């Protein structure tokens, strides 16, 4: 399994200094593999910040409402299980409109809309397009994770490890495609496989 270091940040930082998780594994077909990467940082005591970048000039972006099927659009995704004593993970699936699909559960079938567990609170998501690429920014409040998992924001201290994966897909794009950071070893496309999540470890020194 791959490992990614989640850097703690101070009041200011630049994304160019943050490690990139390359989404470059396409086990179910290599006809279309747009260059895509993800970056994740921690603002201690406050939130995770996620940035994802895909080099696509004209991403399909049909859906605009929470929990619409954005995976049929050009879509970037982050799945994570934040608590090692709880099998549930949160999926965040986002298109180039900044539309979010997000649920909680231990597998594909037993999922509950995230907003149902948080009194309507959701990660903040915005999307932008620049020079042949589209970029997602998401903010995941630690207060939201406390509502879901009952864990303190202090849990996310240097050395703490949790599990997750970054994905790129598009079920109804011109060329359906399914890419990921940590390989998923199944015969057909299936991102809801937490047994193939990689390790996400909090780094030691704030930038």
* 29-72 tens-digit pLDDT: 999 999 999 999 999 999 999 999 999 999 999 999 999 999 99
Confidence of residue 128 (pLDDT cuts 50, 70, 90): very high
- pLDDT confidence of residue 202: 98
- pLDDT confidence of residue 201: 98
- pLDDT confidence of residue 204: 87
Pick the CATH number of 3-202 from 2.60.40.1190, 3.40.50.1860, 2.60.40.1170, 3.40.1160.10: 2.60.40.1190
Question: To the nearest whole percent, how much of the chain has pLDDT over 90?
Answer: 96
Whether the pLDDT of residue 205 is over 80: the answer is no
Per-residue buried b or exposed e for 73-111, using 16+ beta carbons within 10 Å of the residue's own CB: bbbbbbbbbbbeeeebbbbbbbbbbbbbbbbbeeeeeeb
**CA max distance for the chain:** 44
In this predicted model, what pLDDT tens digit does every residue of 83-110 receive, in sequence order? 999 999 999 999 999 999 999 999 999 9
CB count in 10 Å sphere of residue 57: 10
**In angstroms, rounded to a whole number, what is the distance separating the alpha carbons of residues 161 and 155?**
10
- pLDDT confidence of residue 35: 98
Whether the pLDDT of residue 207 is over 70: the answer is no
What's the mean per-residue pLDDT of the chain?
Answer: 97
Could you state, in order of their start, the residue ranges of all structural domains in the chain?
Answer: 3-202
């Amino acid at each position: 399994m791959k490992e990614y270091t989640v850097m703690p940040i101070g009041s200011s930082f630049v994304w160019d200094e943050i490690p990139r998780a390359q989404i470059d594994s396409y086990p179910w077909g290599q006809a279309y593999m747009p260059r895509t990467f993800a970056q994740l940082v921690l603002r201690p005591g406050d939130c995770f910040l996620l940035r994802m970048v895909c080099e696509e000039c004209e991403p399909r972006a049909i859906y605009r409402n929470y929990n619409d099927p954005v995976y049929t659009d050009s879509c970037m995704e982050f799945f994570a299980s934040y608590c090692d004593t709880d099998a549930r993970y949160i999926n965040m699936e986002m298109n180039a409109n900044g539309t979010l699909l997000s649920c909680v559960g231990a597998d594909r079938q037993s999922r509950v809309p995230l907003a149902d567990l948080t009194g309507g609170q959701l990660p903040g998501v915005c999307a932008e397009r620049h020079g042949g690429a589209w970029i997602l920014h998401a903010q995941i409040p630690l207060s939201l994770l406390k509502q879901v998992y009952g864990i303190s924001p202090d849990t996310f201290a240097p050395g703490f490890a949790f599990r997750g994966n970054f994905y790129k897909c598009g079920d109804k794009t011109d060329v359906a495609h399914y890419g990921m950071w940590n390989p998923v070893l199944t015969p057909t496309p299936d991102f809801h496989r937490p047994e193939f999540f990689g390790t996400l470890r909090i780094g030691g020194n704030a930038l």
